[in-house]
Amino acid sequence: MRGAVLYAPGDIRVEDREDPKIIEPTDAILRLSATCVCGSDLWPYRGIEAVDGRSPMGHEYAGIVQEVGSQVTNIRPGQFVIGSFFASDNTCELCQAGYQSSCINKEPIGAGGAQAESLRVPLADGTLVATPDLPPDDLVPSLLAASDVLGTGWFGAVAAEAGPGRTVAVVGDGAVGLLAVLAASQLGAERIIALSRHAPRQQLAVTFGATDIVAERGDAGVAKIKDLTNGLGAHSVVEAVGTQESMLQAIRSTRPGGHVGYVGVAHGVELPGTELFFSHVHLHGGPAPVRRFLPELIELIWTRRIDPGKVFDLTLPLEQAAEGYQAMDERRAVKTLLRP
């Protein structure tokens, strides 16, 4: 099969890779209908995260089950399925509590490289969720979005306790931040402030439900959010970047008693203890337990109540993955969908 491999920073190639096979009796093999490039793939692509030799890339996937292991009972060949970036048993105590991305048996999907024609998914019964039927082609981008970027934005909004009567601010205008806006809107937030300096992204944020746009960042962004909230700060702030600046901006934009949901993968973030102590904010986040939300998200997409696939503003054949990475790196594209 063909698959994307990162050789070194900036050097992504699509090449022949070994076809995935059933290894454990709980595995499934998928033929992928669509995959994509994640903002977190840009960390190793930019050399900010070390590249350890030749790395297969990708952890977002949707496709058709080709084969299942002997112990798989819920999932069967021919179904269209979506899973998340961690395989999980969905039965252990942590999964049952809604934290499948901390499952005691979790396995990273990225190790197998989902930017490819086929993918092995461990713990198939716990990990994969099937759609009611084979989806029409125009729903595939939105279903793919549920695999990570929508589920992650959704968790950010849930962790920030977005809901009726609350003002939600979203720090970060990448695909996760934009879909956190959509999630906050679906969860009934009264007011949604999107932080973005880029006109096309501001427009998408408004499409997804943002009521206010703030172009300032850092301390100026914090001041603007305070201006919009009677000097108090937002009730709920989603952090969807993962840098020191964005994390502090999120904490400082939150009112005492409010909640920060942080879903940007942290790189070099160190929190000042004294400031945190006096801030009175709740912090919750981490790798999103997307599996918790998948059934609900698939239902919302299937019935066309949400259209998260709009975040894909570039669609390329898998063979052109390198251009897909470059476009996102240069911020020419919000998110690249790859068609195997």
Residues lying near Zn ion in the complex (CB under 5 A)? 88-89, 92, 95, 103
With beta carbons less than 8 A apart as the criterion, state whether 256 and 281 touch. Answer: yes
CA distance 15 to 3: 6
Minimum gap (Å) between residue 142 Cβ and Zn ion: 27
Between 95 and 162, CB nearer to Zn ion:
95
CA distance 219 to 252: 8
With beta carbons less than 8 A apart as the criterion, state whether 91 and 45 touch. Answer: no
Minimum gap (Å) between residue 112 Cβ and Zn ion: 19
With beta carbons less than 8 A apart as the criterion, state whether 105 and 93 touch. Answer: no
Between 103 and 195, CB nearer to Zn ion:
103
Between 24 and 67, CB nearer to Zn ion:
24
Residue with tokens 């059933």: 22
Between 97 and 111, CB nearer to Zn ion:
97
End-to-end CA distance of the chain: 10
Structure tokens belonging to residue 210: 């943002």
Between 99 and 312, CB nearer to Zn ion:
99
**Hey, which residues does 108 pair with through a beta bridge?**
86
Minimum gap (Å) between residue 103 Cβ and Zn ion: 3
Kind and range of the H or E element at 30?
Answer: strand 28-36
CA distances to 16, 38, 307, 326 from 145, rounded to whole Å, are 26, 10, 9, 20
Minimum gap (Å) between residue 86 Cβ and Zn ion: 10
Minimum gap (Å) between residue 144 Cβ and Zn ion: 24
CA distance 230 to 233: 8
* DSSP character string of 290-338: HHHHHHHHHHHHHTTS--GGGG--EEEEGGGHHHHHHHHHTTS-S-EEE
Minimum gap (Å) between residue 90 Cβ and Zn ion: 6
Minimum gap (Å) between residue 101 Cβ and Zn ion: 10
Minimum gap (Å) between residue 99 Cβ and Zn ion: 8
Kind and range of the H or E element at 65?
Answer: strand 61-68
What single-letter amino acid sits at 102? S
Structure tokens belonging to residue 80: 């269209």
Residue with tokens 């961690």: 86
Between 34 and 103, CB nearer to Zn ion:
103
Between 52 and 93, CB nearer to Zn ion:
93
Between 48 and 104, CB nearer to Zn ion:
104
